């Protein structure tokens, strides 16, 4: 009915139930009006706007099939793919563009797409585009195309918004409906057997697993309300042995197309999806549709169950309704005129489930190993589409292959240099109980000072005393062997010897000492220093165990009696300070003051009161 009107060039509003071939109704008329492609014509003449990416791919495939003899150039434009291939195809020249509103406007903004020569415009699934919020984008596209054009709107349902849009942008459109107006809305899918059950949330996955083992079941689509529910159901069915995949908006375009290809090719037989796959997806041999979550409105229910029973075939639809969703389902049931106002309470062990769907007795919620004959989603290769935007994963995060790490070589360092190259002078550990002083000769002093000279560049706070000794020894003559050897004293903190030197210079170096800290030595010039009255603290060695820290306990105040309260406060008063008078003493002084004389009786009383 719509094809003759479309071929004549009239504006058209087509309404028909899903699966009746609306794509060819506008596709043949559009390709016929455009004609054969020409080399000098690169700008598109036909434009088809669809709401979802999957529907864009399907419509373009149907148009390519219809344009087999004409050779029309059809380009599919949608988000999730790389821009470069689409831009190259536009530069080479196209006749018909099928795309989503967002990517079309992006290419127009980048000045790669010119819509000034569009002669035929089609809005497929127009009501769905309004639900997804595409109305502002569609109005912008209408302003970019010429006014002299043919506009066609096709949809399974026709809400009031579509009628208002047609009045604004269409020129005297003809409304064509492929159904008898006397037929009730409930008969919109007569080839589908419908079952509506009231189920419990915790039993839904078990009931679904048993439904998927019904006799004669082919490809099955399971619809969920949210993306997380899709991932959860797909994961649960995968652990139970079913060949399943998920399709929703959080997945990349490559993953979505991989799942649809695997579903069409029969590598998987269960597709869990949101309402993104409920519109226009035409897949043969879909025998069962399960509404895991109850639909939100009557149009959603019609499009969901319309995925089965297409092209004259029969199908089965099962809808799960929870106790909280009964009110919403009653409204849908009333609007569609169905017979399921009070759904039957159903569990996975209910007998009518086995009898109505043809499930064998004793079937459990796990698929037997003998029935697992599908190749699975992994058998279908994912296509590299040059996806744009953030990276997305399916369900759990996939483990990325990381390159092996190089083995770490640990090196012990001291002061920024390897510990093997640093010569550490060995210090003999001596007990503090020994009273015999160590006798050190001048040759031993020079031998001990030689390693310190090699490490002069690594001056730290710990080696400050050692550097001072070194500078002092550099300017001091070597003692004669006959001279009396100096005595060495040992401190409590280190076992290194302390050498007593005679008075050699009047200007000693300034030594700063701090309690429980290392000694700092500041020497302006290397001069002989008298160390007879100073204890030089050497760098602590790791061989010496430091003495334990003695902590002083605070003084305890013991009261004479257990009931005595002790409070010590500083006495801030002195003998010269006057004691502050109290409020009672001030009142007594005011009363003792002499009364004022003179004045009348009334005036005097008032004066006294004021005083």
The answer to whether the beta carbons of residues 277 and 54 sit under 8 Å apart is yes
Average pLDDT score, the chain:
75
**Confidence at residue 37, expressed as pLDDT on a 0 to 100 scale:** 80
**Confidence at residue 404, expressed as pLDDT on a 0 to 100 scale:** 67
**How far is it, in rounded angstroms, from Cα 54 to Cα 256?**
8
Instruction: Give the strand order in the sheet containing 12-15.
Output: 74-77, 96-99, 46-49, 120-124, 150-155, 12-15, 174-177
Nearest by Cα to 501 from 526, 535, 467, 455: 535
The full set of domains in the chain, from first to last, is 2-177 (3.40.50.300), 185-379 (3.40.50.300), 439-451+463-473+495-532 (no CATH)
What is the mean pLDDT of the segment spanning 93-122?
Answer: 92
pLDDT band at 511 (very low <50, low <70, confident <90, very high): very low
**Confidence at residue 345, expressed as pLDDT on a 0 to 100 scale:** 95
Q: Supply angle C-alpha 66, 277, 221, rounded to 5.
A: 110
Instruction: Among 113-127, 229-243, 405-419, name the most confident range.
Output: 229-243
**Confidence at residue 254, expressed as pLDDT on a 0 to 100 scale:** 84
**How far is it, in rounded angstroms, from Cα 22 to Cα 20?**
6
**Confidence at residue 467, expressed as pLDDT on a 0 to 100 scale:** 62
Helix (H, G, I), strand (E, B) or coil at 466: helix
**Confidence at residue 17, expressed as pLDDT on a 0 to 100 scale:** 67
What would the DSSP string read from start to end of 418-443? ETTTS-PPP-----TT--SPPB--HH
Helix (H, G, I), strand (E, B) or coil at 99: strand
**How far is it, in rounded angstroms, from Cα 291 to Cα 223?**
5
pLDDT band at 367 (very low <50, low <70, confident <90, very high): very high
Helix (H, G, I), strand (E, B) or coil at 465: helix
More confident residue, 396 or 537: 537
Helix (H, G, I), strand (E, B) or coil at 59: helix
**How far is it, in rounded angstroms, from Cα 54 to Cα 276?**
8
**Confidence at residue 430, expressed as pLDDT on a 0 to 100 scale:** 47
Q: Residue 46: count other Cβ atoms within 10 Å of its Cβ.
A: 26
**Confidence at residue 179, expressed as pLDDT on a 0 to 100 scale:** 63
Residue 290 has pLDDT above 60, yes or no: yes
Q: Residue 147: count other Cβ atoms within 10 Å of its Cβ.
A: 8
Residue 390 has pLDDT above 60, yes or no: no
**Confidence at residue 419, expressed as pLDDT on a 0 to 100 scale:** 66
**How far is it, in rounded angstroms, from Cα 191 to Cα 187?**
9
Instruction: Determine what percent of the chain is predicted with pLDDT higher than 70.
Output: 64
Q: Supply angle C-alpha 432, 499, 440, rounded to 5.
A: 85
Residue 491 has pLDDT above 50, yes or no: no
The answer to whether the beta carbons of residues 229 and 250 sit under 8 Å apart is no
**Confidence at residue 176, expressed as pLDDT on a 0 to 100 scale:** 82
Tens digits of per-residue pLDDT, 119-129? 999 988 877 77
pLDDT band at 589 (very low <50, low <70, confident <90, very high): confident
More confident residue, 20 or 205: 205
Range with the lowest mean pLDDT among 131-135, 247-251, 353-357? 131-135
pTM for this one? 0.57
What is the mean pLDDT of the segment spanning 54-78?
Answer: 87
Please state the φ and ψ torsions of residue 205, each to the nearest 5 degrees.
-70, -35
Three-state SS for 104-129 is: HHHHHHCCCCCCCCCCEEEEECHHHH
Three-state SS for 322-388 is: CHHHHHHHHHHHHHHCCCCCCCEECCCCCHHHHHHHCCCCCCCCCCCHHHCCCCCHHHCCCCCCCCC
**Confidence at residue 165, expressed as pLDDT on a 0 to 100 scale:** 76
**How far is it, in rounded angstroms, from Cα 382 to Cα 576?**
99
**Confidence at residue 178, expressed as pLDDT on a 0 to 100 scale:** 72
**How far is it, in rounded angstroms, from Cα 213 to Cα 17?**
30
**How far is it, in rounded angstroms, from Cα 457 to Cα 455?**
5
**Confidence at residue 399, expressed as pLDDT on a 0 to 100 scale:** 46
**How far is it, in rounded angstroms, from Cα 371 to Cα 374?**
9
**Confidence at residue 484, expressed as pLDDT on a 0 to 100 scale:** 46
**How far is it, in rounded angstroms, from Cα 529 to Cα 507?**
7
**How far is it, in rounded angstroms, from Cα 293 to Cα 322?**
8
Helix (H) or strand (E) holding 27: helix 22-34
pLDDT band at 182 (very low <50, low <70, confident <90, very high): very low
pLDDT band at 342 (very low <50, low <70, confident <90, very high): very high
**Confidence at residue 573, expressed as pLDDT on a 0 to 100 scale:** 58
Sort residue 519 into left (φ over 0), alpha (ψ -120 to 50) or beta.
beta
What is the mean pLDDT of the segment spanning 561-565?
Answer: 68
DSSP β-ladder status, 270-273 and 96-99: unpaired
pLDDT band at 440 (very low <50, low <70, confident <90, very high): low
Nearest by Cα to 539 from 427, 431, 446: 427
Tens digits of per-residue pLDDT, 248-277? 888 888 888 889 889 989 999 999 999 876
Instruction: Determine what percent of the chain is predicted with pLDDT higher than 90.
Output: 29
Residue 308 has pLDDT above 90, yes or no: no
**How far is it, in rounded angstroms, from Cα 442 to Cα 448?**
10
Residue 427 has pLDDT above 50, yes or no: no
**Confidence at residue 237, expressed as pLDDT on a 0 to 100 scale:** 95
**Confidence at residue 284, expressed as pLDDT on a 0 to 100 scale:** 77
What would the DSSP string read from start to end of 537-562? PPPPPTTSPPPPPP-PPPPP---SST
Q: Which residues of 528-541 are buried (b: 16+ CB within 10 A; e: fewer)?
A: bbbbeebbbbbbee
pLDDT band at 243 (very low <50, low <70, confident <90, very high): very high
**How far is it, in rounded angstroms, from Cα 233 to Cα 273?**
10
**Confidence at residue 583, expressed as pLDDT on a 0 to 100 scale:** 80
**Confidence at residue 411, expressed as pLDDT on a 0 to 100 scale:** 72
pLDDT band at 48 (very low <50, low <70, confident <90, very high): very high
**Confidence at residue 502, expressed as pLDDT on a 0 to 100 scale:** 47
The answer to whether the beta carbons of residues 294 and 320 sit under 8 Å apart is yes
More confident residue, 565 or 284: 284
**How far is it, in rounded angstroms, from Cα 422 to Cα 104?**
71
Residue 605 has pLDDT above 80, yes or no: no
**Could you give the dihedral angle defined by the CA atoms of residues 305, 306, 310 and 316, in that order, rounded to the nearest 10 degrees?**
10
Strand-pair partners of 290? 222, 318
Range with the lowest mean pLDDT among 259-263, 375-379, 599-603? 599-603
Helix (H) or strand (E) holding 400: none
The first and second tokens of residue 432, run together, are 């503090």
The answer to whether the beta carbons of residues 194 and 305 sit under 8 Å apart is yes
């Amino acid at each position: 009915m719509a094809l003759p009107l479309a071929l004549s060039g009239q504006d058209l509003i087509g309404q028909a139930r899903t699966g009746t071939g609306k794509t060819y109704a506008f596709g043949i008329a559009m390709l016929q009006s455009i004609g054969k492609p020409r080399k000098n014509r690169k700008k598109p003449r036909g434009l088809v706007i669809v709401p979802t990416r999957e529907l864009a791919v399907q419509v373009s495939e149907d148009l390519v099939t219809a344009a087999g003899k004409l050779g029309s150039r059809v380009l599919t434009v949608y988000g999730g793919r790389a821009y470069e291939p689409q831009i190259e195809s536009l530069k080479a020249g196209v006749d018909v563009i099928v795309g989503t509103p967002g990517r079309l406007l992006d290419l127009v903004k980048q000045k790669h797409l010119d819509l000034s020569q569009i002669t035929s415009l089609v809005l497929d699934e127009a009501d769905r585009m309004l639900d997804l919020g595409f109305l502002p984008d569609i109005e912008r596209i209408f302003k970019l195309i010429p006014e002299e054009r043919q506009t066609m709107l096709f949809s399974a349902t026709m809400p009031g918004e579509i009628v208002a849009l047609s009045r604004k942008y269409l020129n005297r459109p003809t409304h064509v409906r492929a159904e008898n107006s006397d037929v009730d809305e409930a008969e919109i899918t007569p080839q589908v057997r419908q079952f509506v059950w009231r189920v419990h949330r915790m039993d839904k996955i078990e009931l679904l697993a048993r439904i998927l083992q019904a006799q004669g079941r082919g490809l099955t689509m399971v619809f969920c309300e949210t993306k997380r529910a899709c991932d959860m159901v797909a994961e649960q069915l995968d652990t139970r042995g079913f060949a399943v995949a998920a399709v929703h908006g959080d997945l990349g375009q490559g993953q979505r197309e991989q799942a649809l290809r695997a579903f069409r090719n029969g590598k998987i037989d269960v597709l869990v999806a949101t309402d993104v796959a409920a519109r226009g997806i035409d897949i043969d041999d879909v025998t069962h549709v399960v509404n895991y979550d109850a639909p939100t409105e009557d149009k959603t229910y019609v499009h969901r169950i319309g995925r089965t029973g297409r092209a004259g075939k029969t199908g089965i639809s099962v809808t799960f309704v929870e106790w909280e969703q009964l009110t919403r389902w009653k409204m849908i049931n009333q609007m569609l005129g169905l017979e399921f106002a009070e759904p039957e309470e159903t569990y996975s062990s209910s007998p009518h489930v086995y009898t109505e769907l043809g499930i064998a007795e004793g079937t459990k919620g796990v698929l037997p190993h003998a029935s697992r004959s599908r190749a699975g989603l992994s058998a279908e290769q994912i296509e590299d589409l040059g996806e744009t935007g953030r990276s997305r994963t399916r369900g759990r995060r996939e483990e990325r292959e990381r390159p092996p790490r190089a083995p770490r070589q640990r090196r012990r360092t001291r002061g920024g240099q390897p510990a093997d190259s640093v010569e550490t002078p060995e210090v003999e550990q001596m007990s503090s109980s020994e009273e015999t002083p160590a006798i050190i000769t001048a040759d031993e002093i020079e031998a001990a000072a030689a390693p310190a000279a090699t490490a002069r560049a690594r001056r730290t706070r710990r080696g400050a005393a050692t550097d001072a000794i070194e500078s002092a020894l550099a300017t001091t003559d070597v003692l004669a062997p006959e001279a009396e050897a100096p005595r060495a004293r040992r401190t409590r903190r280190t076992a290194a010897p302390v050498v007593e030197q005679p008075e050699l210079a009047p200007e000693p170096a300034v030594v700063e000492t701090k309690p429980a800290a290392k000694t700092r030595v500041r020497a302006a010039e290397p001069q002989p220093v008298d160390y007879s009255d100073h204890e030089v603290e050497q760098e602590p060695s790791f061989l010496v165990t430091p003495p334990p820290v003695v902590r002083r306990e605070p003084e305890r105040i013991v009261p004479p009696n257990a009931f005595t309260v002790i409070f010590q406060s500083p006495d801030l008063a002195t003998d010269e300070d006057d004691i502050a008078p109290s409020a009672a003493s001030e009142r007594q002084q005011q009363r003792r003051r002499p009364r004022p004389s003179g004045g009348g009786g009334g005036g005097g009383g008032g004066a006294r009161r004021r005083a």
